[in-house]
Structure 1
């Protein structure tokens, strides 16, 4: 400190000359009880080298830095030597990527020549400067509100918003720095969200093309942040960034920092669901929930659903299975591609091509493919809409609501209309002429908030297609409904925690029991919550007439 006092009393130009000649060395001392934060990054570029131990260590510490955690607590959470953590943080501070809450310069008298060169960060809500950049593609998880240490009454309960973004680019230049920060640091903390929200509010709405989709997602993200941030603090987190940490460390970090988790929806098969036992999770609790296994589980639980065939990788299908021959269209889903809807009589070539590289889930689909065949039923449910004729009173919806405890969770159900009505036939006459073409679309990303059956419809015309947990970003109105019901039902209230954890645990256990029944595995998980990556089937499975059966020979069957 004596040397520091001597230096800061010198003229700025003298210190610069000493530094340029190598006669002065800059070091940022880091103490055990220092609080460190990462501001919105500007000009940050990281070229990662695979297999570099020191770089991996630095990255683990970088993504785990939290403004409400001391350096010692960070070391204990990561289970990394305290001195290594302090050295790494010192490097981050020297590079300008991280900053100390209290620097030690606050009470020092500086030479007047330093006045024009000092940058003193604000310590209030505006500590992060407003930055311009834009946001490109949202594709995997959204929200994670979790909890602070309950033993410390002065430590606030922080909500975290988990986002698994596959791509974040500078399509909208006003959000670039925020996108880079979210991608590299893996988090935008509550303070940074002030400027982030301001920039989202300035995003222009486009009327066509990819720009329209990006701007709509930005608007929906803004609505989600405002809704969830209304009651407590919020962090926006990119789930993939946590993959640099091992699973136990990841859980310790989440458990210490957050009160509950809320995920973006729908997630794809490559997402990073966080299997957390100790805090409520409103979203995809394990990877299996975004697999085709989950759809089989739903249909088996209800005893109803579209005819479905889960075919292992490497199989060859010489003829269309008889259970699917009456279908006009088939929905084909694989782990690494967007679902496609193809005419049943032209499906064999494309189906066999896909089976060379992936297991394939084939389902009967509606004769109409103009999006009117889908109905979205958001949950938790509104009791005012639980009247006869409303989709929330559909027998499958009522049964699944009870079986999975959907009123304690959030998301939406996707219903598929298998029977086309006379009105549909008239409205779709022109569209059906082009129905021989393959259509690439994910029914989970189609929102139709029609709440009541038409006069010529009945519940039996509709069957459950899928259940999606979390908060959707792809449709503004669906997002508004779910966010409002989260507020009305007080889902994020700690009093609801036990019900959420019970519903999630029961879902995980039941789903894995079904998978283990039809998928032989060498090892059983030590715990129902043990992290796993679901595997495709080793035998062809058929769901029909409320039952799952094993198909031995597709050519004869």
Structure 2
């Protein structure tokens, strides 16, 4: 269905007032517009009165029957906002609706996962049928041979009445469609309540006897309305009773998830509708459902007058934020024989001793700090089987999309239980444990930042909002965003690109892609031999740049990297059918060693907080030549994250001296080396001259990788270009030289010169201390040369912005830099916003050079959209980025 046509239907624009271009979309046919109106109204469960559908369909009852039929077939939620028409007009209660939904699923023997998340949660609340109960019913239905009109008779296995549900005193009690026969199954007190509702209208549930309300509800004679106004504020505690199945994607479910990540106790329902630019009535319906399912709690739901007027029977009913798991309902109902049944026999909510404490008062307002995470973190917390309470918080983080400051105390309590557990284990179990422990220390550190609190926000939930809405929401609620590292490559960062609040993390979508890794190599001239293959390309033989390597690092476009033996390189072709792939040399004879270098560098300290020496094995990498180029480019003083260096088994000498940066594409005769704006460092200067591109873009492996003497003009180098050496040859050469020394010494034994012969007149005037100083100078030069050679063993592999949750030492350094190192101060954040914009501009310019010839029309996709895929196969080797020749 066309979005513009839908917008006109929402605005109730008749055919005569439709814009001309919309009529053209409909082929200038009023009948097409009628069909759109009916389909849109049914799919979005619109009310008959007050909408365009009343002019198309004349039978109101038939329209609501079609709404219920469509919703049941699509397994949608019961339309509670239409309950007055569905319950009173069609005599279909929510209980009956969900019974028919589950019956259809059982007859088709479909999995419980077929139910969407919110529908499954409402079924559990009303029917008491969860995953285990459904599986048990399916097994019973298979043994039940009864047939009804050719179908399995599964209705006899389903509950006859609803389970006891949680009812709030401020909910409204509405009378349903009551027939004369229904009055025979009620007692005098229940009949009196029914008469009062018919004569005086709806009442607050707290004004009526609790046991009467519950009994009438279970008999289907009343239904409950959860009123929400535009000035109400609600709080979302950790979820209880949520079922994680699947997302349906209908209009209301999409809205529910958008409101989940946007709502907080400081924002009214009306203000939230304004931020999301959604009709206030739809937001009120969504918040009403949250309160009905106990996923949200409304502040100031009752006035003091309401509490005084409340019926005495409610005083013994605990009103809790959460209820224990609902047991499956009995299949028969024994109505109480007394007029006042004991409350102990009812399945009323009980207070949980380990439930989180939520303040009944709204916390001070102000701009908070948000810690951004992706779904990988929630998966670690859920799959690790660390604790049941922690899993409930993880479900909240995933489904709601955030965990607010008010729930962090309970969350930290669960993480503390994990910290006290036995840490023995390895592999995935150890990884889950480490993430939970380091996450706790991260939250404790970030809560020290000034402000009213810290929220944990899931990036994928922000992505469900359009870019403008996301920016309005973040600007309204937060002053600083801090991301975990690394962020999954499938996560889109675009809404956080260029705006306040500042982001300590990947501020552009291109940074979280393989383009950024190639960009690092392009700027610095350092990096392992890399081949970025476009989607649909094919490798027919081993590329010559990988000759001599035994392992490869293969990274698909939106997936995590994998290490494969070089013999399996042709398997890369399977991945190339679906996405671009980056292939890199990653090991010669031994497994690759990697080191993390955190930034800002001033956080490096000689000892850790607990008094034990801090591992500073990577500190020498601060002198790596690549750091000079990256220092201002990545703004390493005002951002945080870590650089990954790798010893791939090959020496990296970087870009040849005197050669500037350029991207060489086939068919371009000349390329001008460009110097990125904002880069000026004394350790790394870029050549600003035109470089003629010849056919020798990549040298052959014989000329480059395995030559004893380099062939690129760098005659001052005494080692092979790529560092391939042989210890056996070195030992043999040393033995031969030693033998030559022995022979020479024997010849000189009979020709020992005198002291006068050893020293020249000039040398005699040189003091002993001068000689010592010269020796020290030579030793210093040797050490400097050794340090330079040690950095040549390492090459830059990747860079990630944010706070790592897998390395305790790196996490501590970065958190200290944010909390006490000045990274969260306004001046530093302003500088970061400006440098992030420059970095994004330069990165887009690099991508354009890799995709288009100079002067060609470049159409990089707009910010906030998907990152452009490579159009050409690119290679990085010998410090240069060029188009791959296929060899």
Structure 1 gap segments, 5+ residues each:
133-153, 427-451
Alignment-derived partner of residue 458 in structure 1: 790
The aligned residue for residue 189 of structure 2 is: none
The 5 A counterparts of 1:165-180 are 165-166=375-376, 167=379, 169=382, 171-172=385-386, 173-180=388-395
In structure 1, the residue matched to 2:833 is 501
Q: Does 1:303 align with 2:525?
A: yes
Partner of 2:564: 342
Tell me if 1:519 matches 2:734. no
Return closer, same or farther for 1:414/1:46 CA change in 2, 3 Å cut-off: closer
2:426 alignment partner in structure 1: 208
- Residue-by-residue CA offset, 1:329-370 (whole Å, 9 max, x unaligned): 3222212443233344x2443333433333221222233654
Residue equivalent to 2:807? 475
Structure 1 residues 129 and 523: alpha-carbon distance in aligned structure 2, compared to 1, 3 A threshold: farther
In 2, Cα distance between the equivalents of 1:522 and 1:162?
Answer: 36
Q: What secondary structure sits across from 1:97 in the alignment?
A: coil
Contact kept in structure 1, 2:553 and 2:586, CA below 8 Å: yes
Q: CA deviation at 1:15?
A: 2.9
Q: Kindly state the Cα deviation for residue 511 of structure 1 after the two structures are TM-superposed.
A: 0.8
CA gap of 1:47–1:347, structure 2 versus 1, over 3 A, is closer
Distance in 1 separating the partners of 2:867 and 2:288 = 41
The more displaced of 508-517 and 380-389 is: 380-389
- Tell me, yes or no, if structure 1 residue 374 matches structure 2 residue 706: no
State the distance in 1 between where 2:404 and 2:204 align: 36
2 CA distance for matches of 1:56 and 1:389? 48
Correspondences of 1:23-34 after superposition (within 5 Å): 23-34=221-232
C-alpha displacement at 1:191, in angstroms?
Answer: 0.7
CA distance in 2, matches of 1:337, 1:5: 56
Q: Measure how far apart 1:375 and its partner are.
A: 1.5
What is the CA distance between 1:406 and its match in structure 2?
A: 1.4
Look up the SS of the partner of 2:448 in the other structure: coil
CA–CA distance in structure 2, aligned partners of residues 526 and 350 of structure 1: 31
Check whether the contact 1:288–1:294 (CA below 8 A) recurs between aligned residues: yes
Aligned counterpart, 1:222: 440
The offset of 1:13, in angstroms, is 1.9
SS in 2 for 1:390: helix
Q: CA deviation at 1:531?
A: 0.7
1:37 to 226, 235, 240: 235
Q: Which has the larger helix fraction?
A: 2
Structure 2: distance between partners of 1:329 and 1:518: 27
Find the aligned partners of 2:448 and 2:353 in 1 and give their Cα distance: 22
Q: Is the 8 A contact 1:128 1:192 kept in 2?
A: no
In structure 2, do the counterparts of structure 1 residues 23 and 523 end up closer, same or farther at CA, with 3 Å as the change threshold?
Answer: farther
Instruction: Provide the secondary structure at the position in 2 that maps to 1:56.
Output: helix
Q: How does 1:396-475 map to 2 (within 5 A)?
A: 396-419=626-649, 458-475=790-807
> Cα distance 1:328–1:220, how it changes in 2: closer, same or farther (>3 A)?
same
Q: Report SS of the residue matched to 2:490.
A: coil
Is residue 163 from structure 1 mapped to residue 373 from structure 2 by the alignment?
A: yes
Please tell me whether the aligned partners of residues 505 and 801 of structure 2 are also in contact (alpha carbons under 8 angstroms): yes
1:531 aligns with 2:864: yes
Change (3 A) 1:497 1:192: same
Shift of 1:158: 0.8
TM-score, with structure 2 as normaliser: 0.52
Question: What residue in structure 2 maps to residue 248 of structure 1?
Answer: 468
Counterpart among 874, 877, 880 of residue 541 in structure 1: 874
Would you say the 8 A contact 2:580–2:870 is kept in 1? yes
| Cα pair 1:71 1:85 within 8 Å, conserved | yes
Corresponding residue number in structure 2 for 1:291: 513
Q: Give the 3 Å change call, closer, same or farther, for CA 336–274 of structure 1 in structure 2.
A: closer
2:589–2:649 CA contact under 8 A, matched in 1: no
Deviations 1:161-184 (A, max 9, x none): 211114353522231211111111
| 1:111 is aligned to 2:111 | no
Structure number with larger C-alpha Rg: 2
Aligned ranges for residues 61-210 of structure 1 at < 5 Å? 61-107=259-305, 108-109=307-308, 110-119=310-319, 130-131=354-355, 155-166=365-376, 167=379, 169=382, 171-172=385-386, 173-203=388-418, 204=421, 205-210=423-428
**Is the contact made by 1:131 and 1:174 (CA closer than 8 Å) also made in structure 2?**
no
Listed as ranges, the gaps of 5+ residues in structure 2 are 1-169, 171-199, 323-350, 357-363, 607-615, 652-722, 728-783
State the secondary structure of the residue aligned to 2:806: coil
The answer for the alignment partner of 1:16 in structure 2 is: 214
Listed one character per residue, the Cα deviations across residues 75-121 of structure 1 (whole Å, up to 9, x for unaligned) are: 10010111221222122212221111111254421333212213166
Instruction: Calculate the TM-score normalised by the size of structure 1.
Output: 0.81
- Change in CA separation of 1:389 and 1:475 when aligned onto 2, cut-off 3 Å: closer
Structure 1 position 266, deviation (Å): 1.1
Contact 2:861 2:867 in 1 (8 A): no
Q: Is the 8 A contact 1:48 1:55 kept in 2?
A: no
Structure 1: distance between partners of 2:799 and 2:208 = 67
- Please name the residue that 2:539 is paired with: 317
Cα 1:105–1:17, aligned 2, differ >3 Å: closer, same or farther? farther
- Which one scores higher on RCO, CA 8 angstroms, separation ≥ 6? 1
Distance 2:535 2:869 in 1: 8
Q: Tell me how many residue pairs correspond in the alignment.
A: 500
Structure 1 residue 289 displacement after superposition: 1.4
Matched residue SS, 1:458:
helix
Match of 2:396, SS state, is helix
What is the alpha-carbon distance in structure 1 between the residues aligned to residue 501 and residue 589 of structure 2? 42
Give the root-mean-square deviation of aligned CA atoms.
3.4
CA pair 385-473 structure 1, distance change in 2 beyond 3 A? closer
